[in-house]
Amino acid sequence: MVCTFKYCRTVPALLVAGWAGVAFGQSINIDIGEGAGVPSDTYAAAGLPGAWNGLSGDDVECEYFPVGLNGAPTNVTLLTTSCVYIGLYDHPETDEDDERLLDDGETRTTAGLSLHFSGLVPGPYRVITYAYNALPGFDATAVLILAADLPIHVSRCDSWPGHLEEGATHTIHDITSPVNEFSMHVYGGAPSYQGVFNGIQIISLDCNGNGVLDEQDISSGLSLDCNENGYPDECDVDLGMASDSDGDGTLDMCDGCPDDPLKVEPGGCGCGNPETGDSDGDGVQDCVDQCPQDPNKVEPGDCGCGTPETGDSDGDGLQDCVDQCPGVDDAVFAPGCQGAIPTVSEWGLVVMTLLLLTAWKLAFRRAKVIRATSE
């Protein structure tokens, strides 16, 4: 009998199409058992987020064909020696995706369960095995990877640590020598006790297939990791875990100009506009400098580019450079600055003078009348 995966989540067809034919290292998430549900595709557990394959079956010699993190089919085949003993465990402390992963699984005694993965893209891989059950009657779970003489790792926990924790909820094996297949064996820690097997993540350690470990790609600067998830950005894009809308190699979440393939920061000219340089060396890009050839001005002002602002010496509101009568208020001059029109203050002086002359004239006449009368 050939068993099938259930509840495999998918991603948009565009992302699946982008994955097709790319020789990137494959990463796969598998949840053993479906009783508690299957984790969401945003759940990374101790590895990477992506589609989770829900493994179930009730016959021996089961064969499975898991999808990758982006939900697309892979060439990977999983062959197990048995598909029985899948149980449901109620851990009140776990919730959400932790509960979906850890509250069901395969129960095993020392007889164990063998799994064989084949069809992987050749490369190094990290194998994360989830084995958690703190209920009475369960003991430690041992995991043996039959590749590169890796040691046996044991997972055991008497109570929920509050989060996923290596050695308590899962074990980690790194297969650093390139492989395209490997076998593993999971078994209970004591003859009279059962161990549990909740799930497995196979994470490529060379996701871009360039022959260099991902962590070395990132540390050397060969690959970017702007979201700091330990995975080269180009792999995030190809697996549909992040987007790069303009295809410039910088994830949108880290790109100041996500729709401009030539820029990752707005710069002086803004997204969508090339940096034009600074012709006059005034520190302002030509694209926003209204006087690109005038180092002393970035906008024309009243006097225009190339002409300094001269000030308003007569206070009439006009810069001297455009004032027809600089130095004197234009309001006191006739057109063409030909003759002065007295200002209010000047008219006051004239009136005062006339009044004084009139008063003097009246006083003179009065004095003359007085003298004539006295004679």
With respect to residue 170, please indicate whether it lies within any of the assigned structural domains.
yes
Number of domains in the chain: 2
Q: List per-residue pLDDT tens for the chain, 375 residues long.
A: 233 333 333 332 222 233 333 345 689 999 988 788 999 999 999 998 889 998 876 544 578 899 998 888 999 999 887 665 577 788 889 999 999 999 988 877 667 788 899 999 888 999 999 988 877 766 678 888 887 567 788 887 778 889 999 988 999 999 988 889 999 888 876 555 577 888 999 999 988 888 888 889 899 999 899 888 888 888 888 777 788 898 888 899 999 999 999 989 998 888 988 888 888 888 888 888 888 888 888 888 888 888 887 777 777 777 777 777 776 666 665 455 655 555 545 556 767 777 787 877 777 777 666 766 766
Determine the pLDDT at residue 9.
32
294: its two tokens: 């005038």
**pTM of the full predicted structure?**
0.66
Determine the pLDDT at residue 23.
46
Contact 23, 212 (CB under 8 A): no
With respect to residue 259, please indicate whether it lies within any of the assigned structural domains.
no
* H-only helix segments in 194-295: 214-220, 233-238
Q: What is the CATH number of the domain that holds 37?
A: 2.60.120.430
Per-residue pLDDT tens digits for 255-271: 999 999 998 999 888 89
> Can you tell me the distance from the alpha carbon of 222 to that of 94, in angstroms, rounded to the nearest whole number?
39
With respect to residue 39, please indicate whether it lies within any of the assigned structural domains.
yes
Question: Is 180 exposed, middle or buried (CB count within 10 Å of its CB: 0-12, 13-18, 19+)?
Answer: middle
CB half-sphere exposure, 156, CA atoms < 13 A: 15
Determine the pLDDT at residue 59.
45
* Strand duo 123-130 + 141-146: pairing: unpaired
With respect to residue 302, please indicate whether it lies within any of the assigned structural domains.
no
The residue from 184, 204, 224 where one domain ends is 204
Per-residue pLDDT tens digits for 116-140: 999 998 889 999 999 888 777 666 7
With respect to residue 233, please indicate whether it lies within any of the assigned structural domains.
no
Determine the pLDDT at residue 125.
92
* Strand duo 5-6 + 52-55: pairing: antiparallel
Determine the pLDDT at residue 200.
94
Contact 105, 113 (CB under 8 A): no
The residue from 185, 204, 223 where one domain ends is 204
With respect to residue 310, please indicate whether it lies within any of the assigned structural domains.
no
> Can you tell me the distance from the alpha carbon of 36 to that of 129, in angstroms, rounded to the nearest whole number?
18
Determine the pLDDT at residue 52.
95
Sheet holding 5-6, edge to edge: 5-6, 52-55, 28-32, 199-204, 123-130, 170-179
Domain extent at residue 113: 5-204
With respect to residue 163, please indicate whether it lies within any of the assigned structural domains.
yes
The residue from 141, 175, 204 where one domain ends is 204
Residues written for the chain:
375
CB half-sphere exposure, 244, CA atoms < 13 A: 22
Determine the pLDDT at residue 280.
82
261: its two tokens: 């393939």
With respect to residue 220, please indicate whether it lies within any of the assigned structural domains.
no
